[in-house]
Structure 1
Amino acid sequence: MLNIYYGRENIDKDKFIFERVSGQTLLLVPDQFTLQAERNAFRYLEVKGLIDLEVISPSRLGLRILKEVGGEKISRLDKYGRHMLLSKIMGDKKNKLEVFKGMESKASFIELVNNLISEMKQYNTSPEDLPGIIDKLDSDSILYRKLKDMQAIYEQYEAVISEKYIDTEDYLEHCISKIKDSNKIKKSEIWVYGFDYFTPKNLDLIRELIAYAVNVNVVMTYSEAGRDDEVFSMTGSIIEKLEKLSEELSKPYHTEQIGDRNCIRAGIAAELAVVESELFSIPVRRWEKDASAITLVKAANPYAEAETAAAYITRLLREDGLRYKDIAVICNDLEVRGSIISRVFKEYGLNPFLDKKRSILHNPVISLNIYLMQLAMGRMDLETVMGFIKTGLAGLSQEDTEELENYAYKFKIRGNMWNREFSRGTKEYEEEQLAQINQARDFVIRTILAFTEPFKKAQTVSEKIQVLYYFLKDHLQLSERIEQLMKEQNEKGYYEMAFEMAQIWKVAIEIYDQLVTVMGDEKLEIAELETILRAGFESVEIGMLPATIDEIIVGTMQRTRTGQIKALVVLGANDGILPSAVSGDGILNDDEKLVLFHNCVEICKLDELRAMEEKLAMYRTLSKPEQYLFMSCSVSDNEGKELKPSVIFNKIAGIFPKLEIKKDIISESNPLYLLEAKANGIKHISEALRKDIDGEPLNDCFKAALYWYKANAQKTIRQVEEGLFFKIKENGISIAERLYKIEGNTVLSISPSRLEKYGRCPFAHFINYGLRPEEKRVFEIAGREMGDIYHLCLMRLSEHLTERSLPITDKNSKWMNITPQECAEFVSRFMDTEGAAYREGILSGGNEERYKAGRMKRVCTDAALILVEHVQKGKIQDIFFEAEFGKASKKHFPPIEVDTSQGKLLIEGKIDRVDILPGNYIKIIDYKSGSEKFDLEEAKGGWRLQLMLYLKAALGKTQRPERESEEIKPAGVFYFKLDEPTFNASELSGEQLEEKIKAEFRKSFKLDGILLDEPDVIESIAGEFTGSSDIVPVRKNKEGIVVGTSKDKLLTNDEFTELQLAVDGKIAELCEQLARGNTDIAPRKSGNETACKYCMYQSICKFDLAFEGCTYKVVK
């Protein structure tokens, strides 16, 4: 017989059921409700164990039946096995698909196909049914083409598993067919509870239970002929279907509203009873009295919302004596807000349990599997090998892992380099240290080969999975390592991580079993096997169980089933979140489902039905609390975008007109709320102290809390006070002394580039030269390496050509007689010898490096040819290369001394090239592989100082005795660019192209800077020329007078002197600020270029133009 009992949520249905349970009974509930149903059974039956009563889900019931009557040994394909099989099928059919073409490798799309096939099976739709359905559709429609693709996939899927395996849905059908043979069913009373909806497949199960069980009792949430009957329309439809089933079986049925007054929930706050009766009622009957049991909050953002809820829960625990288990938290947006809720609740000392399924892709065991597949494919790149090691399961210690990673990263170890003993780094690593790194390398390679060699020899999928399994189990001893990880996680309080780790090896084995079941005898390429295995892992989500009964459950309306609770906290009551927006990311959208429905075809669940499920879930959940209901929404999201309250939030506000909507506790700034928890209170005390410093006095509540912290948490409050009262400006001089001066030196010494960096941003200078974070230098050819080699090549060439006994441009000098071919040959020899030895052979590291080396040889050759040409056209007495200025007697020039209030400051460095011209004029050249341009205003403003600093140093008294008495005068300062010229040659050909190449070639190497407007100086540098000079930025006008190609390129003596004085003033100013320890966050800007553009420390200073007080100091 079938008995259908129904009632609203003001009825205690658990009590109704357990008061009537007797004899051998099966309580059939949804999978996610089994734990709570068992707890309810213990509570109402007041027993310590369940003997005649068994709480069971449909899937477990099927397994129980097959164990009794036989048939459980059949090869079963679960959701994950189907996901892997579909991955292979779609890969095989990728050229035959139309709408789904190009999607076959995307795990998320395979999941959608998987879900649709599952739903079609639940709705009893087979591949044979699809042609008839498709024929009714417009052949030009997207729906027609989608179903054609689905037909091809579904048919192939069924063909593969036919007579071999049985999937989850067919397994349930198989179980249903065996119910008639089950003595357990025939002797049992069946109670069905917790379902709002039954798929056709589940209805088939109920049908068989009605046919063969003693009695079937179905308890539903339903009410008829009320003002809110719309919310129960779905369950009303299910009741009708159940009654029809009973009629078809010629079995009696009885439908009854639960009217037992003993089962009416007692002790419910009056306001909460109104929520149950009025939430979805039309018209609404307002509650005109006070509603102290209900709290509505509009918070500034999700974080403030979570903190307000945490403070509210803390008060309930402290003042009302509630326990964690008495409180449930519901949030439909756990993917975004779950981490915020968890973090904030833990700050308040609360114990939340997030009731959601978790992906396993981040788990180290799963990562280990994927990396092993990639290694077997021959991928020995740095990321793959180190990824394998850093799972923590490869057997290498943490210390060895870090040392090996640093070495491998620094020297770009990849490919076969892993198989050879490491030899680079002899200057950076001691012999013993390098031996230790090689020992770690050897261990890793032996471990990898222990897997890859037998894995490659294995032929079938089954053999390969067997190799994988035994390698993990025996060689890596994975079970023992997992046990150790779990122990460490539990000791650190990471209980959920430990729970996940406890399941992961079992899950991996299940995936292996499914893979062998589906395609064990097939021979697949390793890449295809890796794709399928990854697809299997991507489809898995692990559910967690609370570690204890006394935890705060944090879940969603649909998934989370609570027992009796005294307080309900609902977060994220915003439009689109509560109720949840109906998902439109399935294979078929709602319009397409409706087209099928109107053609009398139901192959999957309608979105309208999902919305009805959500509404019923909201009604049921919001009716659960007995004493308190807290509901909040956010005014904006984490990015500041506006959010609107949900219709549910507004509906409750409308039902209770006297209910005041509150602000979050941070916006209200009520100390009593902000100081609810010790751990979190310190944050708000810090903020209050900061305001006190700014002139807003502490109120009495914060003062009392401060005294308490000083008495009970002295260390914590001391750290807060030290941080708040620390003033970088007040301690600037001591900072400069401690951080900038090298130990043992009383005089601060800096380089020109360092002073220039300070001029651009004092704070970036402080981080770089004060805190000195170490940047890993990778073993690769980048801008720094190219610059080093260019400089070294030009210096070696210049040294080779310079004879101190002859003036540079003497007709007998090597400079004047070297041919272009000889110049190119010298560069080639240099690149093959010194260049090849640079940084332990970095230029021959691989194909990429060899390509760059070839390009660098071209640039060096071109630069050398132009360099020689420039010298040959001018007049130069002497040249100094890499000319150093500093304290040591061997330096070419003395240091630049700057007097500051804190003592002398020295500027020391190295000048790429100093040319001595006739008349004792001096020319400075700085080789640059970038796109530096000299600008007069930038030099005066301290933005670009290096060239002028080099000039200042070279004009100082020389430390070479033979030149002490000579007066040296400035001729000019220049950048010499080292790079390949580029230009648009798309419309040029023949002679035009050749001429253009020559012109652009010389133009690209033209010196950029300023020079003295003196005919002898100009001739010494540029030589004889007509029109524009190929060497410096000057030209001859119609009158034959030399002028600059642009403003401020040609300076008179007075202008040059004025520039030097202005730069000297800026140098003195910057040196004074630096010596006094100024570390202001004050970046500068010149034109469109800012100091922040390539700064690595932006995440530290947080400089942002959007904030008040954040502005650039403009140079020009």
Structure 2
Amino acid sequence: MSFKLIYGRGGSGKTKEIYEEIKRRRKEVPERSMILLVPDQYTFRAEQKLLKELGKENVFHVTVHSFSTMIRRILQNAGGATHNLISDLGKSMLMTKTLTDVEEDLVLFRNVARKPGFVELAKNLADEMKRNNLDPEKLREAVVSSGDAELTQKFGDILLFFEAYEKEVHKGHVDSMDEITFAGERMEKADFLKNAEVFIDEFNDFSLVQLSFIEHLMRNVKRVVMTLTMDKDEETGDVFQITKDTEDKLFQAAERAQVSIEKPLILSEEVPLRFRENKELAHLEREYFRYPNKTYNEVPQSVSIYKAQNSYDEVEKIALDIRRRVREDDTLRYRDLAILCRNIDAYESILISVFREHEIPVFLDKRREMDGSPISQYILALVDIAKEGFTYDALFKLLKTGLSHLEKEEVDLLENYILANGIKGGTYEKPFVYPYPNIVPEEMKAEYLEKTNEIREKIVSVYQPLRVQLENASTTEEISAALYEHLEEHGVLNRSLSFVSSLKDLEVLKEHEETLKGLITIFDDLVEVLGKEKVSLEVYGDILQQAMVSHKIALIPLTLDQVILGDVARVKSDNIRGLYILGVNDGVFPKTVSDEGIITDHDLEKLKAEGLSFLVDSKLRSVYEQFLVYTAFSIPRDFLAISYPGSDLDGKSQRPSLVIGRMKKLFPKLMENAYVNPMDRKSGTLEEVESKVATFNELIKEMRRNYQGDEVNPLWGEVYQWFQGHEKFSRRLKISREGLSYTNVTEKLSRTSVKELYGEQLYLSVSRLERYTSCPFAYYIQYGLKAKDRVMHEVTAPDVGTLMHEVIDQFTEDLRGMERDLSTVDKNYIRSAVDRLVDEAIEKTNAIYKSSPRYKHMGEKVKKIINRSVETITAQIAKGKFVPMFNELGFGKDGEKLPALSIEIPDTGEDALLRGRIDRIDVMEMDGKAYIRIIDYKSSAKDVSLQDVFYGLQLQLLVYLDVVLRNWESLQSQKAVPGAVLYFKMDNPVISGNVRMTDEEIERKVLENLRLKGLLLKDAKVIRSMDEDIDTFSLVVPAKINKEGEVVSSSNRKEKNEEIILTEQEFGVLREYVLDTIGRILKELFDGNISIQPYKDKDKIPCTYCTYKSICQFDGKIKANQYRNLKALTIEELWEKMKKGENAVE
């Protein structure tokens, strides 16, 4: 019995030497059997290579094994195969259950014990402890001996769940580490090994359990031969530290096994076998980790570096290079090329998309997650529904998989209703009664409600029986059986397969088939591992979700000729001629190793001080990352192309890896190629003419260059003609050609279209006119096309404002019915009445204010605001002679006291009718005149700006004033004049002050804070009638009486170039100007102007909160998109222009 090592650097021919050795030994000792032991992922390739190297006549005498298949064979041959092996998936399930069972006893990890991420960490830690033959008692002794309280607490938790987990595993199973141990112990009884030689290849390190197995091999087979990637040259630093450690452990095992050590074979040629035809790659392999190193002083042809703009550009460049190389070299096949990176998840979708576009076959060498698949989400949602009922999240997670028995339109119809009315899970058993939301016409709401109830019944009929069945199930087996029966009985599995088949993507279909197999495996393992265990639905759901996260599916290549795409850690040299390594950024390649996880380096150091070492620290993991760099550089035999993105897809800068700098030192004449902006480079050449789709996309770029007047290679004219003649591309080409001249500039609507959209007779509110002035296109979308946001069961700012308006209006009406007015009520009455009215109003809102603690709090807050507002209103009225005459006075609709305001639309012979509702009209009679004060309630601060009036952005109060003044005699049979137009902010302000403030001082502060804002008549008597206590300052209106007895503003509006104190004549000017402005606005609207032209007043634009931005795609940087800039005007300029009736709308 003997042991032999074959040493060699990467590419030195170690694997080839192993095959040669097998071939020699077959001739020398034909009676012996030969076994090749390789990692799991290389068994298939190893079998292919053996067939090629040994031929058909010899290959049947050589068996390729991985650890798992060899162990199985030993146990079957020597006895012991009756053990029930738990799968990795089963271990995840048991760890989930274990952590749930011990959760309350944990100290440090209690709050994270049931999170999927922690479950995986805990399972991996348990595996690592088993791989390294860790004795829990020795660990416990080392921890106690350390005297470290934090360490004691942490490892107390670890040992608690580890020992509980081990007990669960061994109730009826063994894990793979146990199986290795059993196989080692029974190996001497395995007849097929007694006359065998074992050759071990492609391994760099082993766990202690695997080393023990190899030690048993040394004792029981004739000979063990193994390759190790390493060099005795100390100048290479730590790069071979891992394999050097493995070498030491192997010699120790051989010594314990008492086998002879053969003379090692050291493949030490100056130029490794793989690189004999490529001196540049040979130089890279030899010198990269050598200190000091030699430089390669010629211009390299086989090594390149590319600095991409971003990862998409990086992959695009690689795709073009692959197409070029395969086209130019008849001997090069896609299978000869590989693409590696260290962060495959970041590149996966880009690579698949770009390579499909370039028609390059690619195989992703990665185990894929299945928990995000539609069928997985459907099953998890079933459990959620059983646990929680028909909650929105659970039900629509299920419905949106597309695997239910409902049509997509039915799902949308139901979702709109549920979101608008806040339907909870427990209400599905009874018919829905709330009306369908306002996204459908009023006359269709009953029909839509009926349809919604039909959908509800479909859901209940299918899923309610399952809910009952799952609630009554007590064991894992019963729950699993119920779920699987549902999938079959209701055709979910067939629907899933039919949908994927319709995509006509073979790889997606294979992935789906593997997902279904994976789900069956999960259910089988659930029954096998936990079948009779009694579990709650909550725990079952946790176990099921963790199983789906843990279980990865693996695909095999669909064809032999594919580019291999994978992680540096998985892909080994396999006759790869060309290698692309992408993502060579700082911290990515090599990967920065962080000291994170359950056990830290600090913990390991403390345990090592107590004589216990069982885990790899971050330093050794960093060495492993360097070893991966070396391994990757040793893979190709023809060329190596390295690339990195200069920024991420969001434009954030990314630094290159230190690898880039090191490469440049090794190859001083190596030029780094960089991304060239398509707008800066010359027109494309034959390099871009590759696959149809990719070339078509390049053609579009060239068409854009030509459209912009840049010089274009004549070649692209021929390419254009080629695509023009192909039906598949000609239509797309036409659309692209039209898109070159596309702008989002709108065309005017015809008069016919205007009337179809808005009606033969135009009815408008003032707020709609202001909306049109802000942006004609937004008005068109909102009121012409009637686009609506999805109605949600939530309280918005407008909802709160409407509620407050209704309550204040009802409060005033109630007083009028009692023949009382606001000036006669006290605070106690106000509070009791307001609370009652708010409660009544809330009852009419689908109980939304009772649906959550947040909304309940909001309801209480609304009460306080209205209470404070009504108290302030009564105080303001009590201070003056103006009395409320009308509340919520409507005009323009049938049954209302005032007619619509008719506005002639210039040059059309048409007119429009304005309608609205005035919050409050106060009146004060003096000298035979009725002075009118218009009050508008707002839930946020607002003031009147003459500049906004001039530009048509603020018309409401002045229109209301005009409507009242022109109709007053029909209401009260007396002459009316303007007194004021004012806003009142409904609020419960926070008052700053000190604790010694009296109630009167607080009240004064509140009044000051909620003072009315707007325009006032320049008449001292009128102003005193608004606040009889006015002197130097008013708590009611923003005015004061100066020493000369004149009314002046008490605000700082004058300094801001505004005016709020107006004469009666100036009010008249404003009224006339506003009516003229409305006529002009209506003319623009009637003429079909729907231009995307929002206003801009300094930094203020209506786009900030506009919900239609995604429709108009307005961009102020584009020449065709321009704001309607509002020029700042002085008071004098404003009055001059308004008196002249100048047009500020167009």
The verdict on a shared fold, with TM-score over 0.5 as the criterion, is yes
1:678 is aligned, of 678, 692, 703, to 692
Distance in 2 (CA, whole Å) between partners of 1:819 and 1:182 is 101
Distance in 1 (CA, whole Å) between partners of 2:610 and 2:815 is 92
Q: Which residues in structure 2 correspond to 1:1096-1115 (within 5 Å)? A: 1096-1098=1107-1109
Which amino acid in the other structure matches residue 1062 of structure 2? L
- State the match for 1:709 in structure 2: 723
User: Could you list the per-position Cα deviations for residues 547-592 of structure 1 after superposition, in whole angstroms to 9, with x for gaps in the alignment?
Assistant: 3332222111112235212221111122222212224323233454
Q: Which residues in structure 2 correspond to 1:199-278 (within 5 Å)? A: 199-225=207-233, 228=236, 231-257=239-265, 264-265=273-274, 268-278=277-287
- State the match for 1:584 in structure 2: 595
- State the match for 2:434 in structure 1: 424
Q: Which residues in structure 2 correspond to 1:766-777 (within 5 Å)? A: 768-769=782-783, 772-777=786-791
State whether residues 146 and 610 of structure 2, in contact with CA within 8 Å, keep that contact through their aligned partners in structure 1: no
Distance in 2 (CA, whole Å) between partners of 1:241 and 1:479 is 58
Distance in 1 (CA, whole Å) between partners of 2:819 and 2:158 is 86
1:74 is aligned, of 66, 83, 92, to 83
User: Could you list the per-position Cα deviations for residues 89-117 of structure 1 after superposition, in whole angstroms to 9, with x for gaps in the alignment?
Assistant: 44555565555454334332333333222
> SS of the residue aligned with 1:908?
strand
Which amino acid in the other structure matches residue 610 of structure 1? R
1:1010 is aligned, of 1006, 1015, 1021, to 1015
Identity score, percent: 26
- State the match for 2:558 in structure 1: 547
* Aligned-residue offset at 1:31: 2.4
Indicate yes or no: 2:315 matched with 1:306. Answer: yes
Distance in 2 (CA, whole Å) between partners of 1:1064 and 1:682 is 57
Distance in 2 (CA, whole Å) between partners of 1:985 and 1:467 is 67
* Aligned-residue offset at 1:397: 3.2
Indicate yes or no: 2:798 matched with 1:784. Answer: yes
> SS of the residue aligned with 2:293?
coil
State whether residues 197 and 238 of structure 1, in contact with CA within 8 Å, keep that contact through their aligned partners in structure 2: yes
Distance in 1 (CA, whole Å) between partners of 2:969 and 2:420 is 45
CA shift in 2, pair 1:111/1:458, >3 Å: same
- State the match for 2:891 in structure 1: 884
Q: Which moved more, 1:465-474 or 1:68-77?
A: 68-77
- State the match for 1:4 in structure 2: 5
Structure 2 residue runs without a partner (length 5+): 27-31, 437-441, 1054-1058, 1129-1146
* Aligned-residue offset at 1:468: 2.3
TM (normalized to structure 2)?
Answer: 0.84
Q: Which residues in structure 2 correspond to 1:1037-1116 (within 5 Å)? A: 1042-1046=1047-1051, 1047=1053, 1048-1053=1059-1064, 1055-1056=1066-1067, 1077=1089, 1079-1080=1091-1092, 1082=1094, 1084-1085=1096-1097, 1091-1098=1102-1109
* Aligned-residue offset at 1:299: 1.4
Indicate yes or no: 2:900 matched with 1:893. Answer: yes
Indicate yes or no: 2:135 matched with 1:123. Answer: no
Q: Which residues in structure 2 correspond to 1:437-448 (within 5 Å)? A: 437-448=452-463
Indicate yes or no: 2:648 matched with 1:637. Answer: yes
State whether residues 309 and 569 of structure 1, in contact with CA within 8 Å, keep that contact through their aligned partners in structure 2: yes
Q: Which moved more, 1:1038-1047 or 1:5-14?
A: 1038-1047
Distance in 2 (CA, whole Å) between partners of 1:616 and 1:852 is 61
State whether residues 761 and 1084 of structure 1, in contact with CA within 8 Å, keep that contact through their aligned partners in structure 2: no
Indicate yes or no: 2:293 matched with 1:284. Answer: yes
> SS of the residue aligned with 2:748?
helix
* Aligned-residue offset at 1:203: 0.9
- State the match for 2:681 in structure 1: 669
Indicate yes or no: 2:178 matched with 1:175. Answer: no
Distance in 2 (CA, whole Å) between partners of 1:433 and 1:964 is 47
- State the match for 1:806 in structure 2: none
Distance in 2 (CA, whole Å) between partners of 1:315 and 1:306 is 14
Q: Which residues in structure 2 correspond to 1:988-1027 (within 5 Å)? A: 992-993=998-999, 995=1000, 999=1004, 1006-1015=1011-1020, 1017-1018=1022-1023
Indicate yes or no: 2:631 matched with 1:620. Answer: yes
Q: Which residues in structure 2 correspond to 1:894-909 (within 5 Å)? A: 894-897=901-904, 899=906, 906=912, 908-909=914-915
Which amino acid in the other structure matches residue 754 of structure 1? R
State whether residues 927 and 976 of structure 1, in contact with CA within 8 Å, keep that contact through their aligned partners in structure 2: yes
- State the match for 1:534 in structure 2: 545
Q: Which residues in structure 2 correspond to 1:218-617 (within 5 Å)? A: 218-225=226-233, 228=236, 231-257=239-265, 264-265=273-274, 268-321=277-330, 322-425=332-435, 427=442, 429=444, 433-459=448-474, 463=475, 465-477=476-488, 481-512=492-523, 523-594=534-605, 596-597=607-608, 600-617=611-628
- State the match for 2:917 in structure 1: 911
State whether residues 869 and 988 of structure 2, in contact with CA within 8 Å, keep that contact through their aligned partners in structure 1: no
1:64 is aligned, of 64, 73, 76, to 73
| Count of residue pairs brought into register by the alignment | 1094
1:720 is aligned, of 717, 720, 736, to 736
TM (normalized to structure 1)?
Answer: 0.86
Q: Which moved more, 1:343-352 or 1:789-798?
A: 789-798
> SS of the residue aligned with 2:979?
strand
User: Could you list the per-position Cα deviations for residues 1016-1046 of structure 1 after superposition, in whole angstroms to 9, with x for gaps in the alignment?
Assistant: 5436655776776554334456777654431
CA RMSD across the alignment: 4.4
Distance in 1 (CA, whole Å) between partners of 2:301 and 2:491 is 55
> SS of the residue aligned with 2:981?
strand
Distance in 2 (CA, whole Å) between partners of 1:609 and 1:937 is 71
Q: Which moved more, 1:435-444 or 1:1058-1067?
A: 1058-1067
CA shift in 2, pair 1:904/1:914, >3 Å: farther
State whether residues 482 and 501 of structure 1, in contact with CA within 8 Å, keep that contact through their aligned partners in structure 2: no
CA shift in 2, pair 1:139/1:855, >3 Å: closer
Which amino acid in the other structure matches residue 1084 of structure 1? K
> SS of the residue aligned with 1:774?
coil
CA shift in 2, pair 1:893/1:402, >3 Å: closer
Which amino acid in the other structure matches residue 912 of structure 1? I
User: Could you list the per-position Cα deviations for residues 979-1017 of structure 1 after superposition, in whole angstroms to 9, with x for gaps in the alignment?
Assistant: 45554698369xx35x46755665676533222122454
* Aligned-residue offset at 1:439: 2.8
Which amino acid in the other structure matches residue 143 of structure 2? I
Q: Which moved more, 1:545-554 or 1:513-522?
A: 513-522
Distance in 1 (CA, whole Å) between partners of 2:784 and 2:315 is 40
User: Could you list the per-position Cα deviations for residues 289-328 of structure 1 after superposition, in whole angstroms to 9, with x for gaps in the alignment?
Assistant: 3433333211122222121112111212333343322221
State whether residues 912 and 927 of structure 1, in contact with CA within 8 Å, keep that contact through their aligned partners in structure 2: no
State whether residues 896 and 952 of structure 1, in contact with CA within 8 Å, keep that contact through their aligned partners in structure 2: no
Distance in 2 (CA, whole Å) between partners of 1:877 and 1:623 is 91
Distance in 2 (CA, whole Å) between partners of 1:1112 and 1:558 is 59
1:700 is aligned, of 693, 700, 714, to 714
Q: Which residues in structure 2 correspond to 1:28-177 (within 5 Å)? A: 28-45=37-54, 51-91=60-100, 93=102, 97=106, 99-100=108-109, 102-135=111-144, 137=146, 139=148, 143=151, 145-161=153-169, 164-177=172-185
Distance in 2 (CA, whole Å) between partners of 1:860 and 1:202 is 76
Distance in 2 (CA, whole Å) between partners of 1:595 and 1:821 is 71
Distance in 2 (CA, whole Å) between partners of 1:785 and 1:280 is 69
Distance in 2 (CA, whole Å) between partners of 1:615 and 1:866 is 74
User: Could you list the per-position Cα deviations for residues 753-777 of structure 1 after superposition, in whole angstroms to 9, with x for gaps in the alignment?
Assistant: 2343344456655654566543111
* Aligned-residue offset at 1:725: 1.0
> SS of the residue aligned with 2:112?
coil
Distance in 2 (CA, whole Å) between partners of 1:1050 and 1:240 is 96
State whether residues 385 and 391 of structure 2, in contact with CA within 8 Å, keep that contact through their aligned partners in structure 1: no
Distance in 1 (CA, whole Å) between partners of 2:299 and 2:223 is 47
* Aligned-residue offset at 1:130: 0.5
> SS of the residue aligned with 1:361?
coil
Distance in 2 (CA, whole Å) between partners of 1:202 and 1:774 is 65
